[in-house]
Structure 1
Amino acid sequence: MKQSLSLVTSAFLLMGASNLFAASSIDLSVVGVLTPSACTPALSGGGMVDHGKISMSDLSYDAYLPLATLALSVNCEASTLMAVKSTDNRSGSAWYEYDTESAFGLGFHGENWRLGGYRLLVKNVQVDGAPAPSIESVDGKLWFPATEDQAWQPRWMRSVGAVGEADAIPVPVQNLAMDLTIQTRVRKPRGAITEEVPLDGSATLDIVYL
């Protein structure tokens, strides 16, 4: 019994010494992959949706504005595994009643009155001229099928999967095209309004190489 106890104690001492030495240094790794091909995104209309002037007298509380559609294209020098990530440049200002999480912001009136929001719907996805299924991911690792009535949420990525495949796995593409339908919903500013209130939505679409 005494011998066993001594062996166990020695083992703990050795393990403690090993941890002590390991804690005195740490490795730093800088990694990445240089891709031979680059992809260039483009939006029709200069990426601008202008709803013009909206009479506040027409707003009882909130209202949906007419749908707008922009064409998004991504052209790569060669077939490339990539995705498009959305970022809300007015983060925290979105209001879309029960669906605020999936909306992009339109800015504030005053200090904290959110003016509304807009949702992005992806339709008519094509790869090299042929229809392709849309898929989405928040981290680029776990992917899900994305239907046409499913909003493209801020911070999420969209890519395309293989036609006829049940699994949502990104595939390399060279020429990607899709329609972005913009659903804008505004709500009336609080208090007496004596001047025009601008809608100030802004989002960025970035190419992410997978």
Structure 2
Amino acid sequence: MKQFLMVSALALAAMGPAMAASSVDVNVKGRITPAACTPALSNAGVVDHGKISRKDLDPHNKPTALPVATLQLRVDCSAPTLIAIKSHDNRAGSSGEESIGQPNFGLGLVNGDTKVGWYLLKTANALADGVGRPMIESNDGAAWSDATHPGLVWQVNGMRALGSIAGGNVAPLPLQVMILDILVETMIVRMQYLPPVGQEFALDGSASLDVVYL
């Protein structure tokens, strides 16, 4: 058998140059959907923690958790549509988490390279056309998993949608109006990692939530 495979390989190699194609194809695919969906966030999508005194940060060399803020996301579609919401960090590379796992959303850089914190996004109270529905999530829009646990973090670049059932074998549900709460949990790094005492600096987090048609 080994001799046969070797002879076959040599024969194919000998035929290769004579049979090589002189062109390749470019295929452009997609679909135009008749529906249009418009997202909107309460408070214009702004979470403002105001001025925070350095002395109010955790004195025990731990990150400081700021008050949790809630924004409401509403998506209105012109007809029932299969959609998901995909997150994107506009300050990628600035998350100050010390964990090794996938970074969360960053709060921007100070003095060019100093990371001052990060924030988490979580979801709750999801409605599809006025009916409570379970949250589901996906990394690629093909395979979906249950995301109903209230403490489950919405990962950067992850998709979230509403499904008809919770648990296994979940899939997005066509809907015309999606409403859900987005919980924003902001953390400041340990004081030892902050810019020098006496310097005022801003928290500059920015994320995009994009409607994805499935």
Residue aligning to 2:11: 12
How many equivalent residue pairs?
203
Does 2:208 align with 1:204?
A: yes
Look up the match of 2:41: 43
The residue type paired with residue 12 of structure 1 is A
Trace 1:12-91 onto structure 2 (pairs within 5 A). 12=11, 17=15, 20-59=18-57, 60=59, 61=61, 62-91=63-92
CA distance in structure 2 between the partners assigned to 1:98 and 1:30 by the alignment: 41
Shift of 1:94: 0.8
Q: Identify the residue that residue 192 of structure 1 maps to in structure 2.
A: 196
CA RMSD between the two structures: 2.4
Cα deviation code 1:120-171 (max 9, x no counterpart): 1100011011110101111111111112210111100001111366312112
Q: Which runs of 5+ in 1 are unaligned?
A: none
CA distance in 2, matches of 1:84, 1:191: 35
- For the Cα contact (< 8 Å) 2:122–2:150, is it kept in 1? yes
Equivalent positions of 1:102-117 (< 5 A) are 103-117=104-118
Contact 1:100 1:117 (C-alpha < 8 Å) held by counterparts: no
Equivalent residues in 2 for 1:141-180, closer than 5 Å: 141-146=142-147, 147-163=149-165, 166-180=168-182
Change over 3 Å in CA distance of 1:97–1:193 after alignment to 2 = same
Change beyond 3 A, Cα 1:191–1:65: closer
Shift of 1:112: 2.3
How high is the TM-score relative to the length of structure 2?
A: 0.86
Q: Distance in 2 between matches of 1:67 and 1:132?
A: 23
Instruction: Give, in whole Å, the separation in 2 of the partners of 1:131 and 1:19.
Output: 62
TM-score by length of 1: 0.87
> Aligned letter for 2:168?
A
Amino acid at match of 2:196: A
The 3 A distance-change label for structure 1 pair 121 and 165 is: closer
SS of equivalent residue, structure 2 residue 102: helix
Checking the alignment, whether the CA contact within 8 Å between 1:102 and 1:119 is kept in structure 2 is no
**Which structure's CA Rg is the greater one?**
1
State whether structure 2 residue 124 is matched by structure 1 residue 123.
yes
Counterpart-to-counterpart distance in 2, 1:73 and 1:99 = 33
Q: Secondary structure at the match of 2:157?
A: coil
8 A contact 1:86–1:157 mirrored in 2: yes
Aligned-partner residue type, residue 186 of structure 2 = T
Counterpart Cα distance in 2 of 1:191 and 1:39:
42
Higher alpha-carbon deviation: 76-85 or 91-100: 91-100
Structure 2 vs 1, CA of residues 191 and 128 (structure 1 numbering), >3 Å: closer, same or farther?
closer
Q: Percent same amino acid among aligned pairs?
A: 43
Deviation larger for 197-206 or 137-146: 137-146
